[in-house]
Amino acid sequence: MFLEFKIEDLEKEKEKVFEKLESNKKRIEELLQIEDKTFMNFVRPYQFIHEELNWIFKPLIHLNYVKNNPEIQKVFTEILPVITEYFTNLGQNEELYKSFKEIYEKEKGNLTAAQRKVLEDLILEFELSGVALPTDKKERLKTINIELSQLQNQFSQNVLDATNAYELIIEDFEDVKELPETDLNSAKIEKDGKIVYRFTLQLPSYIAYMTYGSNRKLREELYRAYSTRAPENEELLEKILKLRHEKATLLGFKNYAELSLKQKMAPSVEKVLQFLEDLAMKSKPQGEKEVQELKEFAKSLGFDEELQAYDVAYYSEKLKKSKFDFDEKAYKPYFEKNSVVEGLFNFIYKLFGVEFRKVDVPVWDETVDVYDLYRNDEVFARIYLDLEARQDKKGGAWMDDWQTGCLDENNCRVYPTAFVVANFPPSTKDQPSLLRHYDVVTLFHEMGHAIHHLFSEVTESFVSGTSGVEWDAVEFPSQFLENFAYERKVLKTFAKHYKTGEIIPDDMIDKLIASKNFQSAMAMLRQLEFGLFDLKIHTNAYTKEQVQEILDQVREQVSLIKPPSYNKFQQAFTHIFSGGYAAGYYSYKWAEVLSADAFFIFIDNDIYDEEIASKFLNTVLKQGGSKPAMEIFKEFTGREPDIDAILRLAGIEVVV
């Protein structure tokens, strides 16, 4: 069964959440009265009542991100402390904890791998929720969790509000003359009877001017606005770090980084730091050469200033065009959004035999498309695509699950559903949504998350799809799929001119592939900067001043072009202060080792090798979080991961 996305009255939806929480509490009391508790009569129903809660609550979370307004903000803010308290109380319920442990000890020899994993995860979660703490510390932990949920929500809201509040109006065409026609059309507005150009901090608009805006002062103005968004968040991040540290110490950990890693693949904070610093050391020599090349190129164009962060995208685009005869502007007409989506679906069909069929169901915005997934002519999943930028939508791109594939209490199959959200250039009455190749890569990435969730055949909801997957492995399928956005065989199936229908010429593909690893070491070091900063600030209850000092130290260690002193990117680092990546941003690189290794198994053979694709489907995708990620990876490859695959993928040559 599929649920329909119908939300007509937010207050009624809020009351449904509260009613479901109360009904869950009663059902849990009933379950605890069972004398002979088993997995099937106790754990399966416990999972399913929380799956049902997701069906009601997830659409409200989703609306808060994609149709944000004061009404949904109010409702979401009212629900958040109540639902946080509910889950905190659950995690501290000693009777539940004892029941799960007893069932595990009694039945573990007869349970499936997925069922054992459910119980092992639950037992660990209870221990990390403070089930063994004395009453006063349990109460303090509950207060901390509620405060954190509210602070993190406010952090995200502040970033969204600041992003939407800013605009840069440019009147002189000379200042926008280098922009692609598609970006000019998106920026063009009429004001006081004349044509002007409006740029915002929404990513499609911001990136367009930073890449092609010829007026350096205006680039800096836009950059300054972007990198100083939400200054009030500096106070919030200090409070968040303090509470996270207190939570970790209450639970017996030295710091929040240790607590975070307890449920991840990585063995220790020290090992992660070593991993990141080793990658930085291997990448820096090539990165320094890339920066020097960029500086010399800018100088050859008559640029005599010191290269700043707000110059990098502008001169890099020109260097890329000069070096590879690669012009990003020339590619956008070949990447019309609907054509790219259709091509991606065809690629997935050729790899895994899954067909996407469009359906007409209720949605939250007219630009949203919905598809049902079929295998052997039988429907088994649904996906919602919300890909165009809007003012009421949170920035960035992501996949979120709604329904999880599983069996209910009556052993009936529940079909999975996912949302894929992006902020691609919006379509207009005169022009469809035309993507940069970077956007194409982003769509492939998020679809990798989606198929990980949707293709799962696990019966238990807590470890089905992306549920139960270690956070530093959850990017594996997404990064794996994004790599194919550069493959000739794949591009030829969907990259066609939106006006003429002409398939993208081979020489354009050659240039795209040749430019794939352009400034890859610079990009690698940028991600390592984020990962190191995130991990280090979670090793203590640092003040906002100390956070800045740590950021400065990390930049001194790995950054190649130091940002201006006014840059406060941490104020808008939603991944770690309001998303799920706290002390886990390193996960992107950790998982990229797995994804690069798996990708080369396909590339070094044949992309459409039926045996390899089938093995990937049956191990990585269908098993979800039912086993440890490393165990699943070894089932696919038959060996340990090849750490050097990440460097090979980025084209980084290690200097011995």
Question: Closest by alpha carbon to 185, among 518, 431, 519, 508?
Answer: 431
pLDDT, tens digit, 9 for 90 and up, residues 158-168: 999 999 999 99
Give residue-wise pLDDT tens across range 263-313: 999 999 999 999 999 999 999 999 999 999 999 999 999 999 999 999 999
116-158 residue pLDDT tens: 999 999 999 999 999 999 999 999 999 999 999 999 999 999 9
Q: pLDDT (tens digit, 9 = 90+) per residue, 465-518?
A: 999 999 999 999 999 999 999 999 999 999 999 999 999 999 999 999 999 999
Do 65 and 393 touch, CB atoms closer than 8 A? Answer: yes
Give 650's pLDDT tier (boundaries 50, 70, 90). very high
Residue 656 has pLDDT above 80, yes or no: no
pLDDT recorded at residue 653: 85
Cα distances (Å, whole numbers) of residue 110 to 35, 348, 379, 415, 582: 20, 36, 31, 26, 36
> 524: part of which helix (H) or strand (E)?
helix 520-537
Q: Is the pLDDT of residue 222 over 70?
A: yes
Task: Return the percentage of the chain with pLDDT > 70, whole number.
Answer: 100
Residues 399-431: tens digit of each pLDDT? 999 999 999 989 999 999 999 999 999 998 888
**DSSP code of residue 434:** B
CA of 453: how far to CAs of 54, 480, 636, in Å? 15, 14, 18
pLDDT level of residue 655 (50, 70, 90 thresholds): low
Query: What does the mean pLDDT of the chain come to?
Result: 96
- Region 177-189 average pLDDT: 92
Residue 297 vs residues 77, 290, 322, 562: alpha-carbon distances, Å: 51, 11, 9, 19
pLDDT value at residue 329? 86
pLDDT of residue 446: 98
For strands 378-388 and 417-424, give the pairing.
parallel
Distance of CA 442 to the CA centre of its chain: 10
Given 446, 457, 482, 592, the catalytic residue: 446
CA-based Rg of the chain, rounded to a whole angstrom? 25
Nearest-angstrom CA–CA distance, 282 and 262: 28
Q: Which two tokens stand for residue 586?
A: 């390193």
From the CB of residue 30, how many other CB atoms can be counted at a distance below 10 Å? Answer: 10
pTM of the model: 0.89
Q: What are residue 434's DSSP bridge partners? A: 336
Res 430: pLDDT? 85
Position 579 scores a pLDDT of 84
- Do residues 567 and 228 touch, judged by C-beta distance below 8 A? yes
**CA separation (Å) from 172 to 15, 69, 212, 218, 559?**
53, 34, 15, 11, 35
pLDDT at 643: 87
Residue 8's pLDDT is what?
A: 85
Q: How would residue 5 be classed by pLDDT, with cut points 50, 70 and 90? A: very high
**Cα diameter, the chain:** 82
Q: For tokens 């030829």, what's the residue?
A: 492
Summarize pLDDT for 573-593 with one digit per residue, the tens: 999 999 889 999 999 999 999
How many Cα neighbours within 13 Å face the side chain of 111? Answer: 23
Q: Give which of 416, 423, 422, 425 is closest to 452, Cα–Cα.
A: 416
Q: Is the pLDDT of residue 341 over 90?
A: yes
β-bridge partners, 323? none
Query: Is 613 buried (19+), middle (13-18) or exposed (0-12) by CB count in 10 A?
Result: middle
Count helices and strands (H / E) in the chain. Answer: 26, 10
Token pair in block for residue 510? 């050659």
pLDDT digit string, tens, across residues 378-398: 999 999 999 999 989 988 999
Residue from 355, 361, 443, 366 nearest 402 by CA: 361
Q: What domains lie within the chain, and their CATH numbers?
A: 10-158 (1.20.1050), 166-227 (no CATH), 255-324+517-656 (1.10.1370.10)
Helix, strand or coil for residue 431?
coil
Say how far residue 167 (Cα) sits from the centre of its chain.
26
Secondary structure (3-state) at 486:
helix
Q: Is 446 assigned a catalytic role?
A: yes
The per-residue pLDDT for 12 is 96
Q: What is the pLDDT of residue 511?
A: 94
Residue 507, C-beta contacts closer than 8 angstroms, at least 6 positions apart = none
